């Protein structure tokens, strides 16, 4: 008797779940909450304004966020579970590296949480745009954004000629971007050789000052956070020996907001790198 009852209960529960799930998927999400700067920006680029329930506070930071202007006026969150629940979202967007625990709790509570991978390449940017467009059910907008990005990159890079010249991104405390980074791909697309990748750095890692000097870079770039402030780490990238080895060329800052999150803004970084290369 009790076995039969529990079987019934299971069946009803299953049916309910099915209804809820299919119901949620029947229409595009109407209340999307993003808890990560990178998903914030893609959301702002692709969603209809009324679909956006909330974006993270970082989206408003001019230095880190390419979409700071467009982000104004939306409710912001600090990524805590309580805040996100209070927003009553029908879709929550996070990064794969974002607070794993939060994501687990939200999923456990029955919220639809979608995680985005961090981007290490332009191919990764395309796939993130597609993922976002699909979730928002705005695939045509996504494809248009990708096509525009690809067209502009091709335009910028097709007239780059000559031997690739040695360069690198040198960050405070002597960090750099090696293989499998957006920096590496952008450098190579614009006629530069990435010294760090050749030295064997994979992803983001440290590179020694003497190694940098010995590779004789023609130009140094940085995408340091918080320019205008001082610390020993930031002093390190302005070591006078670097300026001597580049024959007086100073470090060029290609802003942080183009790189911290993969997105179509990579075009502007590529444009700047190409401009320096043509000179």
Partner 1 sequence: MTQKLDTASRIEMPQGKLIALLSLLLTGLIVTSLFIGSNPIPVLKAISDSLQNNQSVIAIILTEVRLPRALIAALAGATLGMCGAIMQGLLRNPLASPGLVGSSSGAALGAVFVLYFGFSSLFWPALPLGGMLGSLLALLLVYLLAGRDASIVTLILAGVAINSLALAMISLLLNLAPSPYAVREIVLWMLGSVANHSLDHLWIMLPGTLLGWLLVLGSTRSLDALTLGEETAYSMGINVERLRWRLFLAVALAVGSAVSITGAIGFVGLVVPHLLRPLVGYMPGRLISVSALGGAVMLLTADIAVRLFPAGTEIKVGVLTSLVGAPFFLYLILKTRRTQL
Instruction: Return d(Cα 248, Cα 255) in angstroms, integer.
Output: 21
CA proximity to 60, closest of 46, 72, 42, 77: 72
212 token code pair:
């940098």
261 token code pair:
């999150």
Which residue of 115, 160, 209, 251 would you call a contact of partner 1, by CB under 8 A? 209
106 token code pair:
């939200």
241 token code pair:
């020996």
Q: Which whole-number Å values give the CA distances from 254 to 20, 166, 274, in the listed order?
A: 47, 17, 12
> Is residue 48 a contact residue for partner 1 (CB under 8 A)?
no
Within 133-162, which residues bind partner 1 (CB under 8 A)?
A: none
Number of chain positions touching partner 1 (CB under 8 A)? 25
**What would the DSSP string read from start to end of 38-58?**
HHHHHHHHHS-GGGEEEEEGG
Stretch of 12-20, 94-102, 230-238, 270-278 contacting partner 1, by CB under 8 A: 230-238
CA geometry: angle 42, 43, 45, nearest 5 deg: 65
Provide the minimum distance between the beta carbon of 234 and partner 1 in the complex, in angstroms, as a whole number.
6
> Is residue 216 a contact residue for partner 1 (CB under 8 A)?
yes
Pick the closer one to partner 1 by CB: 28 or 172: 172
Residue 23 burial by CB count (10 A; 0-12/13-18/19+): exposed, middle or buried? exposed
Which residue of 225, 251, 252, 268 would you call a contact of partner 1, by CB under 8 A? 225
Give, as one character, the DSSP assignment of residue 261: S
Which residue of 173, 200, 253, 275 would you call a contact of partner 1, by CB under 8 A? 173
> Is residue 226 a contact residue for partner 1 (CB under 8 A)?
yes
Pick the closer one to partner 1 by CB: 108 or 247: 247
Contacts of 226 by beta carbon, 8 Å cutoff, 6+ apart: 63
Give, as one character, the DSSP assignment of residue 250: P
Provide the minimum distance between the beta carbon of 159 and partner 1 in the complex, in angstroms, as a whole number.
31
Provide the minimum distance between the beta carbon of 273 and partner 1 in the complex, in angstroms, as a whole number.
24
Pick the closer one to partner 1 by CB: 99 or 239: 239
> Is residue 172 a contact residue for partner 1 (CB under 8 A)?
yes
> Is residue 109 a contact residue for partner 1 (CB under 8 A)?
no
Number of residues written out for the chain: 279
Return the residue matching tokens 């939060």: 102
Which residue of 25, 107, 151, 244 would you call a contact of partner 1, by CB under 8 A? 244
Stretch of 1-9, 43-51, 156-164, 236-244 contacting partner 1, by CB under 8 A: 236-244
127 token code pair:
């796939």
Stretch of 32-40, 140-148, 155-163, 208-216 contacting partner 1, by CB under 8 A: 208-216
Provide the CA 35 distance to its chain's centre, in angstroms.
13
> Is residue 241 a contact residue for partner 1 (CB under 8 A)?
yes
Stretch of 98-106, 128-136, 234-242, 262-270 contacting partner 1, by CB under 8 A: 234-242
Binding stretches for partner 1 (CB under 8 A)? 172-174, 206, 208-211, 213-214, 216, 225-226, 229-234, 236, 239-241, 244-245
């Amino acid at each position: 008797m009790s076995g039969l009852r529990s079987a019934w209960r299971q069946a009803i529960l299953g049916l309910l779940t099915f209804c809820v799930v299919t119901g949620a998927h029947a229409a595009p999400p109407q209340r999307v909450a993003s808890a990560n700067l990178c998903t914030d920006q893609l959301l702002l680029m692709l969603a209809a304004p009324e679909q956006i329930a909330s974006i993270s506070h970082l989206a408003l930071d001019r230095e880190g966020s390419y979409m700071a202007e467009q982000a104004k006026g939306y409710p912001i969150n600090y990524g805590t579970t309580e805040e996100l629940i209070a927003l009553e979202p029908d879709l929550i967007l996070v990064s794969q590296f974002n607070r794993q625990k939060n994501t687990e709790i939200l999923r456990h509570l029955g919220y639809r949480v979608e995680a985005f991978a961090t981007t290490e390449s332009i191919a990764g940017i395309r796939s993130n745009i597609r993922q976002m467009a699909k979730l928002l059910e705005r695939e045509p907008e996504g494809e248009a954004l990708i096509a525009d990005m690809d067209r502009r990159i091709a335009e910028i890079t097709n007239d780059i000629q000559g031997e690739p010249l040695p360069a690198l991104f040198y960050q405070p405390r002597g960090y750099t971007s090696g293989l499998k980074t957006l920096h590496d791909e952008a450098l190579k697309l614009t006629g530069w050789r990435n010294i760090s990748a050749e030295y064997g750095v994979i992803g983001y890692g440290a590179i020694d000052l003497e190694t940098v000097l010995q590779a004789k870079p023609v130009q140094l770039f940085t995408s340091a956070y918080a320019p205008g402030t001082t610390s020993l780490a930031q002093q390190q990238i302005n070591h006078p020996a670097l300026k001597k080895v580049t024959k007086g060329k100073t470090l060029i800052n290609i802003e942080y907001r183009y790189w911290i999150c993969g997105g179509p803004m990579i075009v502007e970084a590529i444009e700047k790198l190409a401009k320096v290369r043509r000179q």
